[in-house]
Amino acid sequence: MKISEKIKAKKDKKSEAITQQNIEESREKIISKGKKFKYPFQYAKHRLMFNAVLIGVVAVGTFALVGWYQLYKAQNTGEVMYRFTRSIGLSVANVDGVKVRFSDYLMLYRSSIASVERQQGAFDDSDASKQQKEYYKRQALNAAEDYSFAMAKLDEAGKSVTDEEIDEVIEEHKTIDGEKRSDEAFEGIIRDNFGLSVKEYRRWIMLSLAKKKASVEFDQDAKKLRDEIATSLKVVTDFNELMKGYEGNDQVGFEIVEDVEYTNLDSGRAAAAAKLQNVGDMTDFFVSKNGDGYYIVKLLNKTDTKVSYASIWVRFKWVDDQMAKLRQDGKVVEKIDLTAKDSSEEETASEENNTEEEK
């Protein structure tokens, strides 16, 4: 091999070695530089995720705190808070271990206020208006507690309110003054009268039916009185004479109603009397439409459109008695503070509420 060729070969070999070494060094430098960008980016990404989670937790916590204050302390009964309670299963009270839905309480309260305002105008900021609204809060909470207790007892008995039963009541309510309203017209009526949607109205009917069915199931005293009076009427058909034996018994009542329409809102008594053929005929005992007890009706007079009748009423007391005992024993725990009202105010407002329930 020539000397020039040896020198060239040596240079090529040295160049090859230098190139391989440069490649290794270059690779290490690139990796090293990459790490400088890679690790700070991962750190920033984790930091962003942590901050996002932290902000989310703080936002949810703040929202929950504000919601709790608005509901349980400020007692906000507005539309937004009502919708909030319908979305989240919050409780407003506890009845012997049974939760009372905040949404039920607000629904009952708001429907009462809507009905009253429709009749007498909007409430203002006067002390009288504030006191009246406080009473309706108390009434709504009592009713929600009663309904929750009744539903729990009905469930224990293996019974419930069916959709068919609710549909039947609503179909009856659609007939007003002998004329059946369309679904759209009826929806407008319950919205205008009670401030409720159809779904909310169905919930209201379900609560009422639950209390009614629980009373029928468990009120043994009312059943005993009903059967006792029914047996006595086989011998003594004069209601006035029969009722002398029940003077002072607040669970039994007697009433004469004259010249009312067949469709009169009286818990189904006028409709039952209209089905009787002859003066002096009597119905069997039946459960009142508003679920307050048993009725038996005697026909006194009848025309093509109106009836006169006498009726005996056996009132349901079981739910009221049970709830009174639970309250006395401290087993009804309420999460909002409501001012108690004078008994005379409660009696007056209770009569108004019973009238509205029948409607």
Domain with residue 166: its CATH number is 1.10.4030
Residue 99 domain-assigned?
Answer: yes
List, in sequence order, every residue forming a beta bridge with 96; answer none if it has no partner. Answer: none
Rounded CA gap, 120 and 118, in Å? 6
Q: Quote the pTM value.
A: 0.78
From first to last of the 359 residues of the chain, give the pLDDT tens digit: 555 555 555 555 555 545 555 666 666 666 565 555 555 555 566 677 766 777 777 776 776 677 778 888 889 999 999 998 998 889 999 999 999 999 999 999 999 999 999 988 999 989 999 999 999 999 999 999 999 999 999 999 999 999 999 999 998 888 776 678 899 999 999 999 999 999 999 999 999 999 999 999 999 999 999 999 999 999 998 999 999 999 989 999 999 999 999 888 888 999 999 999 999 999 999 999 989 999 999 999 999 989 999 999 999 999 999 999 999 999 999 999 987 444 334 444 444 444 444 43
Residues 210 and 251 in one domain: no
Residue 83 domain-assigned?
Answer: no
For residue 111, which amino acid is it? S
Residues 167 and 261 in one domain: no
List, in sequence order, every residue forming a beta bridge with 118; answer none if it has no partner. Answer: none
Closest CA to 204 of 119, 144, 133: 144
Domain boundaries, position 186? 91-218
Residues 172 and 99 in one domain: yes
Residues 241 and 305 in one domain: yes
Residues 24 and 129 in one domain: no
Q: Is 121 helix (H, G, I), strand (E, B) or coil?
A: coil
* Secondary structure, 3-state, 286-326: EECCCCCEEEEEEEEEECCCEEEEEEEEEECCHHHHHHHHH
Residue 357 buriedness (CB in 10 A; 0-12 / 13-18 / 19+): middle
Tokens of 205: 């009917």
Residues 209 and 104 in one domain: yes
Residue 338 domain-assigned?
Answer: no
Residue 82 domain-assigned?
Answer: no
Residues 186 and 109 in one domain: yes
- Other CB atoms within a 10 A radius of the CB of residue 58 amount to 10
Residue 345 domain-assigned?
Answer: no
Closest CA to 337 of 72, 18, 132: 72
259, 306 Cβ separation under 8 angstroms:
yes
Residues 199 and 248 in one domain: no
Residues 307 and 234 in one domain: yes
Residues 37 and 3 in one domain: yes
What domain count does the chain have?
3
Residue 348 domain-assigned?
Answer: no
